[in-house]
Structure 1
Amino acid sequence: MASFGWKRKAGEKVSKSVVQQFEAEEDKAAIRPRDEEEVDWMRAVKRRREELLEDCATRSRRLKDEGAALAEEGRHWEALKKWDEAIQMTPDNPVLYEMKSQVLTVLHEVFPAVKAAEMAVKFRPLWWEGWQTLGRAQLNLGEVDLAVRSFQVAIHLCPSERPLWQEDLRWACRLQKQQSATREKLRQEEETKRQIDHAPELSRDYDDFESDEVLAACVAVAERQTRYEELRRTAVVVDAEGNVQNVVTEAEGSEDAATPSIEQFIKARGL
């Protein structure tokens, strides 16, 4: 019984120490592979991500070059498809939007051209070529004031680029002057037409239709009518020096519209 008890006690101590050592080694073995596996997984994901980004950038450059070659051949719609695919891979590349805006301008897709150029300057605000393209697209859209500002920004970023202020900005300023003069001409035309329709001379009651007041009223109305016809036949142009000129163009079949004189009114009255 004693030997049995001794073996049991001794065995109990040995089994506890072995089990504890075994569990400790098992915990270390279990922890080590898990940590190594986690580190390897993170590195693999990061490496895979870099490879994917590199593949997207490489393919985007290839599509950009293919689109440029198609655009030079005049195959503009095919070039746009290539650049749209490249934008899906690198959506923050301003060069793709700038090239796309140029081709859309050629295709007279004025509004999409402006939107593409706006994206180009959004991703690269200090790129003067992007602002130049935006200004040209805005001109085609009829936004002359915005185009002038875009060209001014481009000149501020690159003042040594002579075509910016010798061609782009000068042309935009000429259009701006012509647009302002045209608006003023339309205002005068509408005001003259209103004075014709609501002439104060025609609203008065005259006692003697052969008096000088009646003749003066007829001449005043005729002068307004002549002025109105001249305004309708006037075109506003801006010369090379930026001077605004009003050019009167005669319509086909129209005669020289001169204002009748008082003598002509008297002669007509005498009949």
Structure 2
Amino acid sequence: MASFGWKRKAGERVSKSVVQQFEAEAEKAEEVDEQTQDEKVDWLHAIKRRREVLLEDCGAKSKRLKDEGALLAEQGRHWEAIKKWDEAIHLTPDDPLLYEMKSQVLTILQEVFPAVRAAETAVKFRPLWWEGWQTLGRAQLNLGEVDLAVRSFQVAIHLCPSECKLWQEDLAWAWRIQKQHLATKEKIRQEEETKKQILNAPELEQDYDFESDEVLDACVAVAERQTHYEKLKQTAVVIDSEGNIQNVVSGEQGSDNTETPLKEQFVKIRGL
């Protein structure tokens, strides 16, 4: 800091002792000002250093809690592990590994919605982490969101195509389930369409001469639809190990219940 310059006015008499005393006081004030600035700098530095120490302590404690949670999870003590990871998340809320491990354990516990949310948070903080996308896909599959799971597995494969398990296990598994879901939807659609045809059969909307053969033809047509509907209800869609769709009978059924009555049978019944 520039020192105060004393300029003597013309015609004014100032004693030498007064001048010296004034300059001494000015120098003293300057020293006090510099000392205050030094103390201010030290105070800011202390705050910054304290903050760094706190961050280091949080990181170290979070790592300890994360490791303790992993050990508990290996021992099957899943809820205790989640509690440890929640404490760690409170200290380091942007650590994607904590959310990913938590999602795995929640999936095991069948806590499907929290598992998906935790995995989504993991990939949000680390979008290029293929293991996070793999965990998200498994959680989505457990929730029944097959299409979303397929996409998550595809993202994981894009990020790490050398990981064979993603191709051979996760994505292949999701594809099989997706294929089965589509086949099941088609079966349900056929059931509903066949049921509509039975309830709103065009043959039942006509006036017939009950002694004519047209009545017999109408009965056979309705019976065929009913038989087809009963067969659809008694079958289930499954996917074999090779990925082929098969319709498997889900219950016992007798031949009398599945065979469509012939026209001759209706003729015989009418004649009784």
The one-letter code of the counterpart of 2:22 is: Q
CA distance in 2, matches of 1:248, 1:215: 30
Structure 1 residues 205-255: Cα deviation after superposition (integer angstroms, max 9, x where no partner): 11x212121111101100111111111111011122222221123347895
Aligned to 1:145: 147
The alignment's TM-score, normalised by the length of structure 1, stands at 0.92
Matches within 5 A, 1:10-89: 12-89=14-91
Cα distance, 1:75 vs structure 2: 0.5
Find the aligned partners of 1:148 and 1:89 in 2 and give their Cα distance.
33
Find the residue that maps to 2:258 and give its secondary structure.
Answer: coil
Q: Render the CA deviation track for 1:49-72: whole Å, top value 9, x for unaligned.
A: 110000000000000010011111
Q: Deviations over 1:156-195 (max 9, x none)?
A: 1111111111000000000000001111111111111111
User: One-letter code of the match for 1:167?
Assistant: E
- State the SS of the aligned residue for 1:247: strand
Tell me which residue corresponds to 2:271. Answer: 270
Deviates more, 1:239-248 or 1:94-103: 239-248
1:121 aligns with 2:129: no
Residues 1:162 and 2:169 aligned together:
no
Is 1:250 matched with 2:251? yes
**1:231 counterpart letter in structure 2:** L
- Any gaps of 5 or more consecutive residues in structure 2? 1-10
The letter for the 2-side match of 1:229 is E
Q: Structure 1 residue 93 and structure 2 residue 83: aligned?
A: no
User: 1: distance between equivalents of 2:255 and 2:106?
Assistant: 42
Q: Output the CA distance in 1 between the equivalents of 2:210 and 2:254.
A: 34
Closer, same or farther: CA 41–264 of 1 in aligned 2, 3 Å: same
1: CA distance, partners of 2:49 / 2:69:
30
Correspondence for 1:236: 237
Q: Which runs of no fewer than 5 residues in structure 1 stay unpaired?
A: 1-8
For 1:263 and 1:116, locate their aligned partners in 2 and report how far apart those are by CA, in whole Å. Answer: 66
Selected match of 1:181 from 170, 180, 183: 183
Question: Distance between the aligned counterparts of 2:255 and 2:141, measured in 1?
Answer: 35
| Percent identity for Structure 1 against Structure 2 | 70
How many pairs are equivalent?
A: 262
Give runs of ≥4 in structure 1 deviating > 2 Å: 9-16, 248-256
Q: Which amino acid aligns with 2:219?
A: C
Q: Deviations over 1:86-138 (max 9, x none)?
A: 00001010110000000000100000000000011111111111110000000
Amino acid at match of 1:158: C
Equivalence for 2:7: none
User: Are residues 1:200 and 2:202 paired?
Assistant: yes
